[in-house]
Amino acid sequence: MSVLRVVSIGSVFVLCVGALFWLSVSSTDDVLPSVADEGFQAPLSPKGSTISAKEARRIDKGLTGAMTHRPADGYQPPRTSGEHPALTRFVDRRLPAIQRVSHDMFTQIPFLRKGVDCDAVVAVLLDREDDQNVRNEAITLLSQSQFDALPDILLDIYADTRESERFRSFAIQHIGDMYIDQIADKKASFKSVDISKVLHAALTHESVAIRRESLNKLIEASDPSLDQKLPALFADPAQIDLLDLTVYGLAARGDASHLAGIRLLAASEESDAEVRLAAIRALGVLHDAQSSSLLVRLKKTENKRQYNACTWALLELGK
């Protein structure tokens, strides 16, 4: 009996110590949900992603474990200037991601003026053990601070197969944003590579997310080589995952070379929902008067998105 009593007392002691340690690690001024809670979503960067919800679920497989990662003993956060308390929290992965990234973070940290602060954010960006949403926000902080080395860092991340598919798609998204800025003569330079070639090469990547991000940014940039690329993508069965963006791109460029095919996509109930909506809008953008009766018929639906798309397209046709 005395042995059992000793074991019981020892178990209680271990549990109490464990509880006290957990409270010391997780306590905060406010009661915040865990980053792994269902429905958690880090604040979006100023420029958003084209990845669909279905695709995001697929590439996020197994991500929850990484998001709840606790640093090993001995971890020390990168040193900052202390100028921005929000930045000191942001670079410290001992804290849950939801405490590091807030909806007004970019107001609290509008610009990184000191080299030590830039170095701290770069350390977060390059830390593959850190939360991927936090690392994505690190890119945005460096971008809005016009950090000169960022383009080449992003190219290295995109080329690094040790990185997850999801984070490499983040990298190509930001690379595309910089390409758009570069075309607009804003400050964004890729000293060692023709970035348009990187984006075009990414159109054949095995990752659907990376292909979609690449095509979307090329369309936003009005890349001149899309005159040949988009019709080829439309006709390529292997690129069906890009079809909605391809239709959008053709319409945005006023390219009616596949107008008959776009009508068929709009009319078919077998079409993917996003592809069908893109096709309906494209008929309006291309001012295809021949599709008026089709749009009137498709408007008779309980699907609100389809109804709105048809209404908009008919207004473009003056109906």
DSSP for 258-278, written as a single string: THHHHHHHHH-TTS-HHHHHH
Cβ-count burial of 185 within 10 angstroms (0-12 exposed, 13-18 middle, 19+ buried)? exposed
Work out the number of other CB atoms within 10 angstroms of the CB of residue 244.
24
State what percent of residues in the chain have pLDDT above 90: 65
What's the pLDDT band for 183 if we cut at 50, 70, 90? confident
Which one, of 204, 123, 193, 207, lies nearest residue 164 by Cα?
207
Most confident of 9-23, 102-116, 139-153, 287-301: 287-301
**pLDDT per residue as tens digits for the range 143-152:** 999 898 998 9
Work out the number of other CB atoms within 10 angstroms of the CB of residue 309.
25
3-state secondary structure of 210: helix
User: Is the model's pLDDT at 27 over the cut of 60?
Assistant: no
CA torsion angle 160 162 164 168 (round to 10): 0
What average pLDDT does the chain have?
81
Residue with tokens 């929850």: 64
3-state secondary structure of 307: helix
User: Is the model's pLDDT at 67 over the cut of 90?
Assistant: no
User: pTM of the entire structure?
Assistant: 0.72
3-state secondary structure of 8: helix
Residue type, 198: V
What region, left, alpha or beta, does residue 42 occupy, with left being phi > 0 and alpha being psi -120 to 50 degrees?
A: beta
Which one, of 169, 110, 101, 105, lies nearest residue 143 by Cα?
110
Residue 86: enclosing H or E segment and its boundaries?
helix 85-90
Q: In whole angstroms, give the CA distance from residue 193 to residue 152.
A: 9
What's the pLDDT band for 254 if we cut at 50, 70, 90? very high
Q: In whole angstroms, give the CA distance from residue 153 to residue 124.
A: 12
What's the pLDDT band for 32 if we cut at 50, 70, 90? very low
**pLDDT per residue as tens digits for the range 98-139:** 999 998 988 889 889 899 999 999 999 999 999 999 999 999
User: Is the model's pLDDT at 184 over the cut of 80?
Assistant: no
How far is CA 265 from each of CA 105, 116, 241, rounded to the nearest angstrom? 42, 53, 14
pLDDT of residue 71: 57
Which one, of 277, 288, 207, 218, lies nearest residue 243 by Cα?
277
